[in-house]
A and B are shown apart, each in its own frame.
Chain A
Amino acid sequence: MSDGILVDLRVIWEALVRFFGLEALVLVIGLVVILAWVQVNALFLVWLERKVAGHIQLRIGPKEVGPFGVLQTIVDGIKLLGKELITPQPVSWLLFILSPIMVFTPVLVAFVVLPFGPHLIIRDINVGLMLIFAFGGINVLSILMGGWASNNKYALLGAIRSVAQNVAYEIPLLLSAMSVVVMSGTLSMQGIVEAQEGVWFIFYQPVAGLLYLIGATAETNRAPFDIPEAESELVAGFHTEYSGMRFGLFFLAEYTNMFIVAAVATTLFFGGWRGPFLPGPWWFLIKVYILIFGVMWVRWTFPRLRFDQLMNFAWKYMIPIALLNLLVTALVMKLVR
């Protein structure tokens, strides 16, 4: 019985492959899975964040809707969908509407090159790592777009803070990633995982790993680097004027960005999908969610930094250390080879 269904499925699959071609089919299915995954991942992460925050602050967090409150975020999501999309009168409406849509582009593009398993990758481009970092810049651009178009001083201040911070922390982020690239000799995500056979790069590159994690926390605008949306100073930062699902898109993008930076960290420093007993994708997800848990732990433990402290830390400490690290790595690799 079940065998018959399997045979039917295979026949349908082969017919589809013959009609559309394997590459196009993988791309379409991959994009659909990504879109679904983004939602499920955000639902889970928001719930996890509330639970983690609750337990760190000696509360319980959500517990009413569903077992352990797992359905709470779904209910919140439905509430957001039902809300009115308010467009304030004096905004620059085209940029105002474009911004939440554009903030999603880099998120979707990054998923194309994330290696979930030995064969589970939509497309292994030979400049995969650059692709993720390059489109990360569009993220900042759209935050700035939304902040300016809102015609609101809090939104604009939040957006400008976000740019200053992202520009400062992107440099150590890129430099630490470059040390890994120098070691593995490739920019392809799958190639970097393959280069970590035996020993993870975090053991060769502890400094770069630490710099990457700090920079990634700053890139995702999370505490202690959350001055772009500091509630006590700026209401809600760049998305102050957004309501309903437009705000929801910013929110989704933020949590998906967390997943992406953790996934890139896993690929660069923690051996990607490598691990014993379990199949690759399981290891990949376990490592990613452990890293995300660490980021959440940091958020609910440390207070927000002041702006000048933040800038000084990036420009005076992180960048020189990252440069030195890259230099030493290159030198050692030259001597070893």
Chain B
Amino acid sequence: MQPVIAQYIRPEVVAYAVFFFVLLLTLGGALIAVIPKSIIHNVFGLATSLVGVAGLFIYLGSEFLAMMEILIYVGAICIAIVFAIMLSQPMHLQIPPRLRPKVFFSFVVSLVVFISFTVMVVRTPWEQAVRTSNDWGVKRLGTLLLTRYELLFELISLVLLMSIIGAVITAATASSEKAPGSRDGEEDGV
């Protein structure tokens, strides 16, 4: 049974309003991630944009992907911010001006990426998400990942494995160069 209020404020209108709000978050966040000069503001803009992307996933009916988006991307952005703090100037110092050729070059690169993505999006015959499946829950995603898209799954784990090995090698060589025969941290001061 439809509640009476649905006659005055139609549900579709609310859904559209939410959709455009999410879109605003995504695009506005992306702009903040690019335009301000302070790198900290950029990273917070990126986080806002990713929250918007999570909202788009909810709109597409996959709450699980939305939660993962927030958990992994927004959560991991924190670490990016720590790096950004290390890269940023103290607040009382002047931020150095941007170099014209650098701005131009990045504009060209992002334009090329944008055009290629747009061409791909326009040319692909998209099917509506509702028509392909109603269920994008954990079980279905897990099944798809381990059956139809198993090669991708294996590739992702391979990439992760390589990055872990890379991190271990970097850490091992860096610490042996700095202090040969350095003690383990936990034994200090005992």
Complex contact A138–B44 (CB within 8 A): no
Q: Is A95 among interface residues, defined by CB-CB distance under 8 A?
A: yes
Residue interface bits A105-140, CB-to-B below 8 A is 1, else 0: 000000000000000000001110011011111101
Query: Are A125 and B63 in touch, CB under 8 angstroms?
Result: yes
Distance, CA A166 to CA B68, complexed state (A): 17
Instruction: Tell me if A66 is interfacial: C-beta within 8 Å of chain B.
Output: no
Q: CA A133 – CA B66 in complex, angstroms? A: 12
**Distance between Cα atoms of A125 and B41 in the complex (Å):** 33
A20 at the interface (CB under 8 A from B): yes
Contacts of A163 in B (CB 8 A): 78-79, 81-82
**Are B85 and A160 in touch, CB under 8 angstroms?**
yes
CB nearest to B54 among chain A residues: A134
**Chain B residues within an 8 Å CB radius of A39:** none
A302 within 8 A of B: no
Nearest Cβ on chain A to B42's Cβ, whole angstroms: 12
Q: Is A55 an interface residue (CB 8 A)?
A: no
B64 pairs with A141, CB closer than 8 A: no
Chain A residues, CB < 8 A from B100: none
The 8 Å CB contact of A167, one of B2, B71, B78, B185, is: B78
Q: Are A134 and B85 in contact (CB under 8 A)?
A: no
Q: Which of A18, A125, A127 contacts B4 (CB 8 A)?
A: A18
Do residues B79 and A167 form an inter-chain contact, with CB atoms below 8 A? yes
Q: Which chain B residues border A335 with CB–CB below 8 Å?
A: none
**Is B12 engaged at the interface, CB distance under 8 Å to the other chain?**
no
Q: How far is the CA of A166 from the CA of B79 in the complex (A)?
A: 10
User: Contact between B85 and A156 (Cβ–Cβ < 8 Å)?
Assistant: yes
Q: Measured between alpha carbons, how far is A125 from B62 in the docked complex, in Å?
A: 12
Chain B, residues 81-97, CB within 8 Å of chain A (1/0): the string is 11001000001100000
- Could you tell me the distance between the alpha carbons of A166 and B186 in the complex, rounded to whole angstroms? 20
Contact residues of A: prevailing secondary structure:
helix
User: Chain B contact residues (Cβ within 8 angstroms of A): what range?
Assistant: 20 to 34
Q: Are B5 and A20 in contact (CB under 8 A)?
A: yes
B51 to A, closest residue via Cβ: A138
A interface with B by C-beta (< 8 Å) = 17-21, 24, 90, 92, 95, 125-127, 130-131, 133-138, 140-141, 144-145, 148, 151, 156, 160, 163-164, 166-167, 170, 187, 306, 308-309, 311-312, 316
CB distance from A309 to the nearest CB of B (A): 6
Q: Does B67 contact A (CB under 8 A)?
A: yes
Tell me which of A144, A151, A187, A311 has the highest count of chain B C-beta atoms within 10 A of its own C-beta.
Answer: A144
CA distance A207 to B1 in the complex (A): 48
One of A137, A145, A160 near B82 (C-beta < 8 A)? A160
Cβ of A134 and Cβ of B5 under 8 Å apart? no
- With a cutoff of 8 Å between Cβ atoms, the chain B residues found around residue A141 in the complex are 44, 47, 74-75, 77-78, 81
> Which residues of B lie under 8 Å from residue A144 when comparing CB positions?
78, 81-82
- Complex Cα distance, B29 from A141, in Å, reads 15
What are 26 A-B contacts defined by CB distance under 8 Å?
A18-B3, A18-B4, A21-B3, A21-B6, A24-B5, A95-B40, A126-B63, A130-B71, A131-B67, A134-B67, A134-B70, A134-B75, A136-B75, A138-B70, A140-B75, A144-B78, A144-B81, A148-B85, A151-B91, A167-B79, A170-B75, A187-B64, A306-B189, A308-B186, A312-B185, A316-B186
Given A20-B3, A137-B70, A308-B185: A127 in contact with B64 (beta carbons within 8 A): yes
